[in-house]
Structure formats: structure tokens, C-alpha cells
A = this chain, B = another copy of it.
Amino acid sequence: MGTTQLESVPEPKYWHLRTVLSEALDSEFSVGEILPNERDLAARFGVARATLRQALEQLELEGRLQRRRGVGTTVAPPRVGVAVGTDQHAWPGAPDDAWQPVDCVLAVPPAGVAAALETGAEEPVHIVRRSRVFHGQPVAAELLYIPASSVPDLTAIDAPSGSARARAVLRELQHLELEGRDNAVELGSARADDAKELDRLPGAPVLVVTTRFLAVGRTAALSVATYRADTCRLTFGDSGSVEIHHGPERQAS
């Protein structure tokens, strides 16, 4: 990160700074390495800390940096490829499922979810919370909405709530014949509860994957999964091994 001055160009400073830092990351830093702190970096480039932070935010959004309060800013590893909806004919909770059930409650879903499920606006459904872990790190949190009509043989005996209940609901779900599913991906920001589960601050950028499970001619379940946008690359289809790097990147010693 040799030089120090910025030229006067019509380009915003923070954008130019982003480019300079990005190139420095490629050529002079290793994955996991700690950058100088924000005050030092700002001084080194002759800009205010807020401006420097704007550049860092961009790079964090692009998955190049990882920042943790009280710790520092480190060079992020390449994003992990996470397979989404590979098996078009498996329910959530199938044996090879990557998700872990956390909890389950019976409650009235948000209006938009009720509409998609074609349930009444005040009708409670099973809401299963699940989480997905990759290399020991949480990468996604999910809410699964399942109308009572999709699990007709569920007995209240199994468990009133909790992960045991979640497993019972998912077990019942397997009895239906799955006809297909739909996926949609959009950008969102983590709500407080999701943020906590993903080990991020509220408002952190997430990729929201909405999956509709179709059975007996209607939507039998709806999944809303939020993936950490900074660390994840979602892969669809067969072999999710497309690897496009920005440039040279070394491994930390």
C-alpha cells in the first residue's frame, strides 16, 4: 500500500480509495491479515475517517473485507459457494438436508406469507426456525411456514414447541408428494433476530431466498431464508463450482 496522496479527479474520493485499496488487497495482503486501523488508514490517505469508512464499506459489501468491532479489519477469504435448491424433489427436513431445526411455534404469519399460502389472514401456521452452518460458521437463517393442512396427521403429543416439535412437523411433511418448487432471490437487510443468529449487526446486507413448495396443486409450504451476503455465493443447478476471483490472492501464513 505504497503511496499516500490522492489526485484531484472528478471521481469521488471514496470510490478512488476503494480501487486503490482493492488493488493493495490483491497484491500486498493475505487472507486473514489484519489491516491498519481506520484512523491510521485515513491519515495515511489524507482523508477524513468517514470517507475512508465509505471505501471500506464498499469492500465489505463485495466480500473483500471483514470488520469486527473491538477487533479490527481483516482480509476476507473468497466467498463460499452455498448450494440452494439442488434437489427439486426433496422436502425440507429430508435426510441429506443442510439445515438444522432450531425451534417451532404455531402463530399467525405476516400478511404477505398468508396470501402466498392461501390461508386466512388470521389463521395460525407452523413456523419452523432453522439455521444453516457451513465451515463452522452460520451462513443462513430460515423461517419455514407450514399450514396445518399440509401436516394433517401431526399429533399434539409429540412436543408443544422447540426443536423436537420442529422435527416432528418436518417428518410429517415428507408424507406429501412434492410436485416442485420456485425460488426467488432478492437483497434485504437483516432484522434484529436474524442478525443475531448470523453473528452480524442489524441491517447487515443479506440475500433473501424465498422458496415455494408445491404439492397437491397449491403452495404447501413457504421458506424465507436469509443468507449472509458478505460471505455467501448462492449456487443453483448441478455443480456449483463456478469460481471467479478478482485477482491474485495469497493465503495467510
Contacts and interface: CB of A to CB of B under 8 A. Distances in A.
A70 interface: no
Interface stretch (A1-9, A28-36, A98-106, A229-237): A229-237
A69 interface: no
Interface in A67-116: 79, 81, 85, 88, 110-113, 115-116
Contacts of A58: 189, 203
A243 B15 contact: no
A163 interface: no
Interface string A190-205: 0000000000001101
A63 interface: yes
A186 B234 contact: yes
Contacts of A158: none
A118 to B, nearest CB: 12
A187 B229 contact: yes
The A interface, classified by DSSP as helix, strand, loop or mixed, is: mixed
Contacts of A207: 185-187
Given A182-B235, A235-B184, A15 B242 contact: no
A61 B188 CA distance: 7
A144 to B, nearest CB: 14
A185 B235 CA distance: 6
23 contacts: A15-B203, A58-B189, A62-B187, A62-B189, A63-B187, A85-B236, A88-B237, A112-B243, A113-B244, A115-B243, A116-B243, A182-B236, A184-B235, A184-B242, A185-B185, A185-B233, A185-B234, A185-B235, A186-B207, A187-B229, A187-B230, A222-B242, A224-B244
Task: Pick the 3 closest A-B CB pairs, nearest first.
Answer: A187-B229, A186-B233, A112-B244
